Amino acid sequence: MTTPARSANRHHKRPRGEGQWALGYREPLNKNEENKKNDDGLNVRQRIIDVYSKRGFDSIDPADLRGRMRWFGLYTQRKPGIDGGKTAILEPEELDDRYFMLRVRIDGGRLNLAQLRVIADISNLYGRGTADVTDRQNIQLHWIEIEAVPDIWERLESVGLSTTEACGDTPRVILGCPLAGIDTDEVIDGSALVQEIHDTYIGDPAFSNLPRKFKAAVSGCPAHCTVHEINDVAFVGVVNENGERGFDLWVGGGLSTNPMLAKRLGVFLTPEQVAPAYGGVIGIFRDYGYRRLRHRARIKFLINDWGVEKFRDVLEKEYLGYVLPDGPAPEQPRGGRRDHVGVFPQKDGNFYVGFAPKVGRLDGDKLHLIADIAERHGSDRVHTTVEQKMVILDVAPDRVDSLVAELEASDLRVNPSTFRRQTMACTGIEFCKLAIVETKVTAADLIDELEQRLPDFKSPLTINVNGCPNSCARIQVADIGLKGQLVVNDKGEQVEGFQIHLGGSLGVNPGFGRKVRGLKTTSEELPDYVERVLRNFEKQKDEDETFSDWVQRADDADLK
């Protein structure tokens, strides 16, 4: 006979450990955690220099190849010819090509011409001319052979760049406004703080074994261009009731398959407190973050379980050692788009010129051309944005027109269509082992089609194209978010296509896109679908109504 006590015990088991170091769970609970415990990812650098680059691809330890090499921005790229239906079926070694994607981290999006030209040279020498600007301000190269990596590092480091912790379970690139220090309306210049955080924490073994990746942003941009709402930690410029300029702290944003918007801690940070607060937040993540299941290992899950009040309390008491004052929320973002495309005045009387490469895709020759154009017009700074765009700074008033003319003639649009300006795409099946469908060419072709079909469309509209469910291209917060998957066409054939999310947004009314039951399209039919929905929007919208607002009230039939 079962006693009541035993029956009760059966229903009150001790909760399974989540691998939280601070609670004593130090033993690895999965293969990734075991690999990190066996050897810090930062140690792979010397093996690449001393062993792998000399003995070749076949000499690389599998735990380094598919794990630790990410700590220095290296992923094996997808073997050509493997269709999307096999992405989740094949073993990693069957998907691996013998070439690498190499991510150059560009903290704050800040590049000078010497740095831009070095990246261009590496692209042409070792990357078959590839170069993509990402939506986290980095530049990614492809077709990199392991033998070339030491020389690439020497070239990058000679101009102050690196690939250290560009990938992996590490503190990733720190986003910053590309106009920091020059925007006439900025709340506060965060560029020195981006650099301080980088110099203090990046490459430090104390923070090189996190539960998962850790994404950050620091900005006083009035347009909120660094999308603080979807970063693990973000510092947003504010002015408090005493007129002091500082930062509001946000934590726990992130998309992927479980999207969550970041939450305000409600504190006011002086500039001097930003780097220590970053250290406190990343310390909490390292010590209390979940390490049992990879899909729950981002800081957003911890904050969702703890709540803001507990997180703030732990940050202040255990990591900072002092109480932070309450502070104001940021002002709403400056109207319009958040990408800095166009010609605008700087504080010093010069101008900056933002331009739009198509879906961030460039090449080594184009990077050299951009550097040459900037230099001819007196600039030494070309910065990247989080929308896969670029900005040339410090252009004298009498040089603006000729600069714009050169960019436009080179298909680097300063006055692009809405579709050219606001369409983004992830890497896709061309190189990514997680992808199911092609993205870059699909998105570029979509832009061309929409420009022809809807030449007078002027409303702001984001179209984000992703090759898998992981949302590297931020599909859930796009007006039209396209999640790659295989679909069945009208002939009954399985082909590349997309599940559609509609009406996502950040800023004034942040929220995730609406999923209409069964709403999918093939890649081939994508231009027809988007044209149809945008024509419905144009017919039905109220004056000044955004696409996102219209989607929330539109009938399902008008969204199909």
Alpha-carbon span 25 to 29, nearest angstrom: 9
- Angle ∠(505,508,513) on CA atoms, nearest 5: 20
157 has a pLDDT exceeding 50? yes
User: Is the model's pLDDT at 444 over the cut of 80?
Assistant: yes
Q: What is the pLDDT of residues 301-336, one digit of tens each?
A: 999 999 999 999 999 999 999 999 999 999 999 876
Residue 551 has pLDDT above 70, yes or no: yes
Per-residue pLDDT band at 257 (split at 50, 70, 90): confident
> Is residue 278 pLDDT above 80, yes or no?
yes
Residues in CB range of 18: below 8 A, 6 or more apart: 25, 290, 291, 292, 293, 296
| Per-residue pLDDT at 263 exceeds 90 | yes
pLDDT at 3: 45
Predicted confidence (pLDDT) per residue in 447-503, tens digit: 999 999 999 999 999 999 999 999 999 999 999 999 999 999 999 999 999 999 999
pLDDT at 152 over 60: yes
Q: Which of 58, 318, 41, 328 is nearest to 203 (CA)?
A: 41
pTM of the model: 0.95
What is the reported pLDDT for 272? 98
| Angular region, 349: left φ>0, alpha ψ -120 to 50, beta rest | left
Computed over every residue of the chain, the mean pLDDT equals: 95
Instruction: Give the tens place of pLDDT for each residue, 386-427.
Output: 999 999 999 999 999 999 999 999 999 999 999 999 999 999
For residue 4, pLDDT beyond 80: no
Q: Counting beta carbons within 10 angstroms of the beta carbon of residue 504, is it exposed (0 to 12), middle (13 to 18) or buried (19 or more)? A: buried
- H/E stretch holding 481: strand 480-488
* 476 neighbors 255 (Cβ within 8 angstroms): yes
E runs forming strands in 221-262:
233-239, 245-251
Residue 188 exposure: Cα atoms within 13 Å on the Cβ side: 25
Residue 246 pLDDT greater than 70, yes or no? yes
What's the pLDDT score for residue 17?
86
Q: What is the pLDDT of residue 15?
A: 61
Q: For the chain, what percent of residues have pLDDT higher than 90?
A: 93
Check pLDDT > 70 for residue 50: yes
Query: Measured between alpha carbons, how far is 136 from 178 in angstroms, rounded to an integer?
Result: 12
